[in-house]
Each structure stands twice: as C-alpha cells, then as structure tokens.
Homo-oligomer: A and B are copies of this chain.
Amino acid sequence: MQPTMMRYELTLTSLFRRAGELYAGTEIVSRNPDKSIDRKTYADFDRRARQLASALRRAGMNKGDRVATLCWNHHAHLEAYFGIPIAAGVLHTLNLRLHPDEIAFIATHARDRFIIVDSVLWPLFEKVRAKAHFEKVIVVRSADQPLPGGAVDYEAFIATGDPGDPLPALSEDDALGVCYTSGTTGKPKGVCYSHRAIALHSLAAGLADTLGVSRRDTVLPVVPMFHANAWGLPFACVMVGAKIVLPGPHLGAADLLDLFERERVTMAAGVPTIWLGILQALDAEPARYALTREMRMVVGGAAAPESMIRGFDKHGLRVVHAWGMTETAPLGTVSNLGPDADAWSDDERYAQRAKQGIASPFIELRAMSDRGPVPRDGTTPGELEVRGAWVAASYVEPCDEGADKWTDDGWFRTGDVVTLDASGCVKITDRTKDLIKSGGEWISSVDVENLIIGHPAVKEAAVIAVPHPKWDERPLAAVVVKEGATVTAEALRAFVAAKLAKYQVPDAFVFIDAIPKTSTGKFQKSELRERFKNHVW
C-alpha cells in the first residue's frame, strides 16, 4: 500500500505566505542607528519582502545565486531573510565582527553576487570591497547618511520590484541560505541550509517543550542575525506571527532593557556575556525597569553559569538554556524542567537548568569516548556527536579540512565535551580543545570558570591549560574583577577549593582587564593560551 498524501514542499515560501495572510497587523519594531524607533507591520513586511524578491529577480539574480548581507538586526535584514530565499536566491549573512580580510575571503568563497549593507557599516564594507567582488551593492541608509558612490539605495531598489510578481515554485531541497563558522583555527567553513531544514527547524523552535515561540510572544533576538541565523528566531517568529523587536546596532544593557520594557518583550535570546551585563544592570537598579514577568531569556553560544540563572530568577526573569552550532542550524537541545522536577529541591532544579537540556525531536545525540558511547551517568565525559533533520553533512566546497568532523557512520563531531545524565540531559563541560589534561586526569575548564564567576567580586573568568613540567598541563584562571570590587588570588582559591577536587583547583589566579572574545562573543582561549604559555609556576 502506498501513502496517498500530497507532495507538499516544506519551503520558507509556505511560511511567508501564511504569515502575510494571518498576522498582517502584528508589529515589527526596529531600533535605528540614531536610536529612534521604526515601526512596521507584518503587512508591510509581506509587501516589502515581495518587492525585494521581485527587484532581485529583475536585477538578474538567478536561482541559487548568493545575496550577502552585512547588517545589524533590523526590519530590512528581516526582509532580506525572506525576500532573498522566496525569490530562489541564497541568503548569505556576513559576520561584521570578523576582520575585513576574512569577510572578503568568505564572500569570495561563497561567490556572493549582490550585497545588502548598512550605511553605518560602510567604513568596514569599503575594506571588504577592496578584496571581494560584488556586482551590486545595496545600501540600507540611516536617515542622515548620504548614498555612497557605486551603491544603490535599498528603498529605491525595492521600489523597482512589484509585490504582485508571482513567487517562484521551490523544492524543499533548494538552498535557502549559507552561514560560515567563525572557528578560531583554520579557514572559515560554510554550511548551506535547505528550505526543508529551516522549515523543520522552525517547527522545532515553536514546540511548547523547546523555545515555545508563539504569536502571543514579543521576541527580541539580541543574538545577531549574522550568527547562525539569529538561532532561527526570525524564521520561527514569522511562522507563528510573533511580534519582533530588533535592536539595531545598540546592544548595550541599558538600550536592551529599555526595549524590553517599552515593547513588553516576552522572550529574548543571546550569549551569556550579553546577559551578564544585563544582570549587573538589573542588580544595580532593581526597581528601574518594569519587565514582563516570566520573560524568557534564551541563552546559548556558551554555557550559562548557574549563578546567572539564579541571579535572573531574583528579578522574575527565566533563563532558558539551549545548545546548538552553526552546523545544527542551530537548535540542538533546550533545557526545560520536566514534571519530575516539581518534587526536587531548588538546588536540584538549578543544577538541571544549568545543563543544556535534551535533544529536540528529530535530533539525535551521543557522547563518545575512545571506548565508544559513554554511559548516561552524568559524570563520564565524551565528545558530543549529533545527527538529525537540520544538521550539516559537510561544508560548502571547496573545503580542505572538515571531513574529520564527521564520523564514518555519519554523525557530526561537535568538539564539545559533555556528560549525559540518566534523563538524557546534556551538560557541556568543555570544548575538546579547552580540556585540561593534568597527570592523566581531565579537568573541565567550564566547570571551574562557572564556580569562579559565582564569587561576588568576579565579572568574568576563563580557565586555560598551561604547560607544566610535571603534570603535562595545569589550570590557570584569568580573572576580571568587577568595577570597584577587590579580591585576592588566595580568596578565590579558597572560594573554589571548597567545591572542587584538589587537582581541579587552578594553580594560578591572574587578574586581567578583559577576557579576549571571538566575533560571536565567546571566550577566545587560544589567545589566552598564547599569552600565558610561558607562565612560570
């Protein structure tokens, strides 16, 4: 017996059309570079994305052609997120935090034909442009900025498009977009998402048990739209008709808190460093902002310290821990408490929420040691491997490296060291390259960091391996102290020694001004390792 079901393509076009029909009045709010607020609706978005789609095709964009963006989070970037793929183009979000040479390398590797760039990023773009080739440069202008030479104004460009042009029929296996990973080693590597992968990812993000994105939500992605599709939130939000608030270039704690309050944000998403700044601002002035109660703050990109989760709870804000990578589109796991947790102690609940959660449906996980899959005991570490319906099987060609990222049986090696507990919950303990190998024992740098960050005087801390004549490697803690606070190395040592095995306690605590960070806001430990490689114990 053969199934009698319709062949229906899982495309972004289907989600886009539906949103235009059902959510016409819902708002899309952007903060402009001059800090003024732009208000549009889904009806505007529907018309403008169609205009962009039409204009791109009229300008000669063919199916599969790459159109780059070099933009902050704002309505025009959202229009590009949809207007490019529904016109059969491939959205390529360039990471403006990379070095111009690296951006040029990526744009050239992807063979981007057109680019949409913010006028406030023009100085950066000029450095990129010198080393890459774009046929057409479309500029999203701030109110007060002139049109640079050789560029087309975004508004003038979309005005050449007709929103009534029919949208091309697409297959779910057509390319939708491409993102390059910003690894700290090697050349950037591209992941190309299909319409199907993004459609399924959007469904997964709307599940009540994952992020639960809903039409009743007002969602503010702090995570940039040039990082792993802003975790897929632009797609998921449009699928469900959520109100969307986009912060533009203004990612400071005060600016974000102001938007949270004014727009009654119910869900925001970003990396831990963003949230630490916001938590400090809230702690400093607890009564200043009237935020939505039980607002969800999705944390990913790096592990959220338990102290941060506890800290936000005091303000009635709920941290939701998630894990993913560019190679997983990125939603892999989300940490929500199950019904069992009702009977747990507060400490048990916080310990669970500090884990990264369980796999989404249609995502499979395993943690591998040299001896095969590790037991689900919550203590044995292994490298997290993943496969699933929105996981990369390879990188965009040509690619010299990367093949070793997939196992012979087709799983993606994440490079994350994790434990799995009996309930299947993942806890990231480290990156494989950041683990500290001390006298035959492995020490999780992340565990030690999260303890140190719990000290009231500490703003940030990174623990790295430093070569050691006797133990191979020993941990060194690089600590940033909060403004106005003081603490000694001895005090920090005593603080962590109470909760660690003796061999896990860093041999040195050194105080620095700031932890170096990657373009995605993660700690750049390679730089710290270089700096302290000749440390004298």
CB-CB under 8 A from A204, the residues of chain B are: 203
Given contacts A25-B340, A339-B243, contact A6 B208 (CB under 8 A): no
Tell me how far the C-beta of A173 lies from the nearest C-beta in chain B, rounded to whole angstroms.
Answer: 7
Instruction: Name the distance in Å between A364's Cβ and chain B's nearest Cβ.
Output: 7
Is A178 interfacial (CB-CB < 8 Å)?
Answer: yes
A209 within 8 A of B: yes
Counting CB contacts under 8 A, is A410 at the interface? yes
CB interface residues, A 1-43, toward B, < 8 Å: 1-8, 10, 14-15, 17-18, 21-22, 25-26
- CA of A22 to CA of B178, assembled, Å: 32
B90 touches A1 (CB 8 A): yes
Q: Say yes or no for A121: interface residue by CB 8 A criterion.
A: no
Most chain B CB within a 10 A radius of its CB, from A1, A4, A194: A4
| A392 in complex: contacting residue of B4, B175, B389, CB < 8 Å | B4
A395 at the interface (CB under 8 A from B): yes
Pair A362/B10 contact, Cβ less than 8 Å: yes
Q: Which residues of A in the span 320-374 have a Cβ within 8 Å of any Cβ on B? A: 336, 338-340, 358-359, 361-362, 364
Say yes or no for A193: interface residue by CB 8 A criterion. Answer: yes
The segment from A213-221, A462-470, A488-496, A519-527 that touches chain B is: A213-221
Question: Taking the complex as formed, is A64 at the interface, i.e. its CB lies under 8 A from any CB of chain B?
Answer: yes
Is A281 on the interface with B (CB-CB < 8 A)? no
Contact partner of A197 among B3, B197, B216, CB < 8 A? B3
CB proximity of A438 to chain B, nearest CB, Å: 33
Residues of B within 8 A of A240 (CB): 207-209, 361
Residues of B within 8 A of A199 (CB): 362
Residue of B with least CB distance to A8: B389
Bound-state Cα–Cα, A200 to B21, Å: 22
> What B residues does A3 contact at CB under 8 A?
173-176, 192-194, 197
Which residue of B is nearest A6, CB measured? B393
What are the residues of chain B within 8 A of A364 when measuring CB–CB?
Answer: 14, 17-18
Say whether A361 contacts B5, CB under 8 Å: no
Residues on B with beta carbons closer than 8 Å to the beta carbon of A338: 215-216, 241
Interface string of A369-397 (1 = CB under 8 A from B): 00000000000000000011111111110
Q: Which of B191, B203, B339, B410 contacts A361 (CB 8 A)?
A: B203
List chain B residues, Cβ under 8 A from A215. 209, 336, 338-339
Q: Counting CB contacts under 8 A, is A319 at the interface?
A: no
Minimum distance in angstroms from A111 CB to a CB of chain B = 8
Inter-chain contacts of A412 with B (CB < 8 A): 6
Proximity bits, A99-114, B CB within 8 Å = 1, else 0: 0000000000011000
Closest chain B residue to A3, Cβ basis: B194
A22–B422 Cα distance when bound, in Å, is: 8
Query: Would you list which residues of chain A between 62 and 83 have a CB under 8 Å from chain B?
Result: 64, 66
Cβ of A93 within 8 Å of any chain B Cβ, yes or no, is no
**CB contact between A5 and one of B26, B197, B213, B216 (< 8 Å): that residue:** B197
| Residue A206 lies at the interface, judged by CB distance under 8 Å to chain B | yes
Instruction: Point out the residues of chain B lying under 8 angstroms from A8, CB to CB.
Output: 362, 387-389, 391
Task: State the Cβ distance, A323 to closest chain B Cβ, in Å.
Answer: 15
**CB 8 Å contact bits of A109-129 with B (1 = contact, 0 = none):** 011000000000000000000
Q: Are B175 and A2 in contact (CB under 8 A)?
A: yes
Do B6 and A387 touch across chains, with their CB atoms under 8 A apart? yes
CB pair A393 B15 closer than 8 Å: no
Question: CB < 8 Å: which of B2, B18, B361 contacts A239?
Answer: B361
Contact B362 A110 (CB under 8 A): no
Query: Using an 8 Å CB-CB cutoff, how does the interface string of A129-164 with B read, 1 for contact, 0 for none?
Result: 000000000000000000000000000000000000
What CA separation (Å) do A193 and B14 show in the bound complex?
21
Contacts of A196 in B (CB 8 A): 5
B214 and A6: CB pair below 8 A?
no
Partner of A21, one of B173, B174, B424: B424
**Is there a chain B Cβ closer than 8 Å to A504's Cβ?**
no
Instruction: Tell yes or no: A184 within 8 A of B by CB.
Output: no
- Docked-complex contact A213 and B208, CB < 8 angstroms: yes
**Which B residues are CB-close (under 8 A) to A64?**
1
Q: How far is the CB of A84 from chain B (nearest CB, A)?
A: 13
A8 CA to B361 CA, complexed, in Å = 12
Complex: chain B residue closest to A64, CB-CB = B1
Sample 15 A-B pairs with CB under 8 A, ordered by A number. A1-B66, A2-B192, A3-B173, A4-B394, A6-B387, A6-B410, A8-B362, A15-B362, A22-B358, A22-B359, A25-B340, A203-B204, A203-B361, A208-B214, A216-B338
- What 10 pairs between A and B have smallest CB-CB spacing? A3-B194, A208-B214, A208-B212, A203-B203, A8-B389, A6-B393, A22-B424, A206-B207, A208-B208, A4-B192
Q: A3-B175, A5-B197, A206-B208 are in contact. List 8 more A-B contacts (CB 8 A).
A: A3-B174, A3-B194, A6-B393, A8-B391, A15-B361, A18-B361, A22-B359, A206-B207
